[in-house]
Amino acid sequence: MSLESLYQDIILDHYKYPRGRGLMESPLGTAFHVNPTCGDEIDMQVATSEDGGLLIGYEGTGCSISQASASVLYELVQGRPVADAEGIRLAFVDLMHSKGHADPDEEVLGDAIAFVGVAKYPARIKCALLPWMALQDAEIKGGLMSEPGSDQE
Amino acid sequence: MTGIDVESIRSDFPILKRRVRDDKPLIYLDNAATSQKPVEVLDAERTYYETSNAAAHRGAHQLAEEATEAYELARAQVAGFVGADASNIVFTKNATESLNLAAYAFANATALSRWGTSVDPRFVLQPGDSVVVTEMEHHANLVPWQEVCAKTGASLRWVPLTDDGRLELAGLDGIIDASTKVVSVVHQSNILGTINPVVEIMAKAHAVGAVGVVDACQSIPHLPVDVSALGADLVAWSGHKMLGPTGIGLLYGTAEILDAMPPFLTGGSMIATVEMERSTYAAAPQKFEAGVPMVAQAVGLGAAVNYLERLGMAQVAAHEQVLTAYSLMAIGKIPGVRIIGPRAAVDRGSAISFVVAGIHPHDVGQVLDNMGIAVRVGHHCAWPTCRRFGVPATTRISPYIYNDLNDIDALVEGIVEAQRFFKVAS
């Protein structure tokens, strides 16, 4: 396994030049998640636009994988309907649990397909998932999504 | 370079022959987290299971006798290693349990005293009392004391740090005072490498009548330590950082303090008599060893002690001193690298933390891992210490007996490679 397969240029680019980074004034829901094994932090905020699109605000500190993942998240779900964003989120979670054997759909995951190599490094999967878990939590807190399992019969 | 023959030592550790990450030779620099195990430790455990396995301290058959003997022999070996008597050594699951055992003595005595049980008043806490730690404690010597304070109303105080990663001792008299009931400090920091003047601190604790506790996890595997000379009432450390197996920790206590402390875990083995209404307890150390003990781990630890005694702890310390001085110099002169902790190889051990400008420690560690170099990244269970130095995490090396200067040269190459890969100006 080469370093380049883990740190694809897309990831390093998002790390150096994060898209949409910054917090909003009045979010519907916020979630602060940390990775207790390494101290990486992410502050995730959600709101909705007038036409029902998801709005994202975030800040964080941490490794290139966790911070690039937040930037890619922003790029993928900003302005999308909440249900679409959830589909993307689940596709990303699946990709991270693929042990690196997935053939991710670029149509759905865009730049996030670059994270396929991360799934080969168990210690780094949590880094990549951190902002996406915070997104789910922020959506639940903002009333945009129900608790997992709560809609089951 | 010293009396330590690294080549010969390496041949005793099967795992060091392993290759990792696309066939690279393993360079193991994560000994502050856990050490590797020589083959004689592995053999000792296997032989015990193959010949004498039984539940120690119960049963009267031959195997039970042999298991008990093996367990108690290990206790005597460990005791001899740190200058103690076997009756002063308690086996626990790990150092975290040892420190919890100490902390729970206070929480339990405080609870028991409320309902009329006679307890030693030194262990009873109330609002107005204080518990003193330092800002460089491992979470294992911080969180249990936070819990004790929450349960009893006592206040937690801590000794702050200098920018160089030493204890700020100037204000110590204002921190350890008449209100102080317990002082628990780390001997050698797992994140900064600092060796603290615990003898002086324990003397201050005793001057105000407080119980003195030392976390010796990072000192006993690396330095000659005579626990009775530290002046502490209790000393906690682990087996797995000193070539022994996981699953066994140690607590040294003076006879007087072990006798005065209420038990921690209760149940079988630790009793004198049991009736339906109440029980009485065995004398220490059995009072603190509830349940079937970890005999195989104790036997393995005994073999580890033999191994270290053969090398000689003075030789081990001298070897590490050379590695420490060389590492501080070699890492410290890489542009863009900042050492977190003492920069001089004086009163410090081989655990060296650093940050590389522009690269998160996780990413530094990943580049090193890709070269076969195993280091620790993160907050090292010392999150408040990281905050004190304004860093979210660090990269840490912690060389030991089987490391040499070539390993440090490889590390330096790895750090420079990380700077190249992440395009950070060095």
Nearest CA in chain A to B368: A3
Judgement on whether residues B167 and B260 belong to the same structural domain of the protein: yes
The whole-model pTM stands at 0.95
Which pLDDT score, from 0 to 100, does residue A150 have? 59
Please give the structure tokens belonging to residue B61: 């058959």
Domain finish residue from B263, B287, B308 = B308
Contact B366 A127 (CB under 8 A): no
Judgement on whether residues B118 and B267 belong to the same structural domain of the protein: yes
Compute the nearest-CA separation of A124 from chain B (Å): 9
Whether residue B426 is contained in a domain is answered as: no
Judgement on whether residues B317 and B298 belong to the same structural domain of the protein: no
Contact A65 B383 (CB under 8 A): no
Whether residue B255 is contained in a domain is answered as: yes
Looking at the structure of chain B, the number of domains it has is 2
Which pLDDT score, from 0 to 100, does residue A16 have? 94
pLDDT in tens, B59-105: 899 999 999 999 999 999 999 999 999 999 999 999 999 999 999 99
Average pLDDT of the residues in B206-231: 98
Mean pLDDT of chain B: 97
Contact B360 A64 (CB under 8 A): yes
Judgement on whether residues B288 and B398 belong to the same structural domain of the protein: no
Distance CA A111, CA A113 (A): 5
Distance CA B169, CA B185 (A): 13
Cβ count within 10 A of residue B24: 15
Judgement on whether residues B295 and B327 belong to the same structural domain of the protein: no
| All domains of chain A in start order, with CATH | 3-141 (3.90.1010.10)
Query: What CATH number does residue B264 fall under?
Result: 3.40.640.10
Judgement on whether residues B72 and B164 belong to the same structural domain of the protein: yes
Which pLDDT score, from 0 to 100, does residue A149 have? 63
CA A85, distance to chain mean position in Å, is: 10
Whether residue B290 is contained in a domain is answered as: yes
Distance CA B80, CA B305 (A): 9
- Per-residue pLDDT band for A153 (boundaries 50, 70, 90) equals very low
pLDDT in tens, B272-313: 999 999 999 999 999 999 999 999 999 999 999 999 999 999
Judgement on whether residues B242 and B329 belong to the same structural domain of the protein: no
Distance CA A85, CA A87 (A): 5
Single-letter code of the amino acid located at B411: L
Of A150, A141, A128, A129, nearest in space to A46 by CA:
A141
Residues of B in contact with A6 (CB under 8 A): 366
Distance CA A124, CA B45 (A): 34
Question: Does the structure show a pLDDT above 60 at A89?
Answer: yes
Please give the structure tokens belonging to residue B42: 């592995």
- A39 to chain B, any CB pair closer than 8 A? The answer is yes
Whether residue B1 is contained in a domain is answered as: no
Domain finish residue from B254, B281, B308 = B308
- B417 to chain A, any CB pair closer than 8 A? The answer is no
Domain finish residue from B274, B292, B308 = B308
Please give the structure tokens belonging to residue B303: 């073999």
Considering only residues 80 to 109 of chain A, which have any Cβ-Cβ distance to chain B shorter than 8 Å?
none
Judgement on whether residues B50 and B82 belong to the same structural domain of the protein: yes
Q: Testing the interface with A: which of B366, B377, B383, B389 to mutate, by most A Cβ within 10 A? A: B366
Q: Testing the interface with A: which of B24, B340, B362 to mutate, by most A Cβ within 10 A? A: B362
Average pLDDT of the residues in B241-265: 98
pLDDT in tens, B249-258: 999 999 999 9
- A146 to chain B, any CB pair closer than 8 A? The answer is no
Please give the structure tokens belonging to residue B102: 């100490």
Judgement on whether residues B317 and B302 belong to the same structural domain of the protein: no
The ipTM of this complex is 0.89
Compute the nearest-CA separation of B363 from chain A (Å): 6
Whether residue B39 is contained in a domain is answered as: no
Q: Are B368 and B21 in contact (CB under 8 A)?
A: no
Judgement on whether residues B297 and B320 belong to the same structural domain of the protein: no
Which pLDDT score, from 0 to 100, does residue A152 have? 43
Taking only Cα atoms into account, the Rg of chain B, rounded to an integer number of angstroms, comes to: 22
Query: What CATH number does residue B387 fall under?
Result: 3.90.1150.10
Q: Are B271 and B280 in contact (CB under 8 A)?
A: yes
Question: Does the structure show a pLDDT above 80 at B426?
Answer: no
Nearest to A39 among B370, B378, B421 (CB): B378
Nearest CA in chain B to A2: B370
Residue range(s) defining the domain that contains residue B290: 45-308
Compute the nearest-CA separation of B200 from chain A (Å): 34
Contact B377 A38 (CB under 8 A): yes
Judgement on whether residues B96 and B114 belong to the same structural domain of the protein: yes
User: Exposed, middle or buried: residue B417 (CB in 10 Å: 0-12, 13-18, 19+)?
Assistant: middle
- A133 to chain B, any CB pair closer than 8 A? The answer is no
In chain A, the DSSP E strands lie at: 29-34, 41-48, 54-61
Average pLDDT of the residues in A54-71: 96
Whether residue B284 is contained in a domain is answered as: yes
Residues of B in contact with A14 (CB under 8 A): none
Judgement on whether residues B354 and B397 belong to the same structural domain of the protein: yes
Which pLDDT score, from 0 to 100, does residue B192 have? 98
Contact A3 B392 (CB under 8 A): no
Annotation says B217 is catalytic:
no
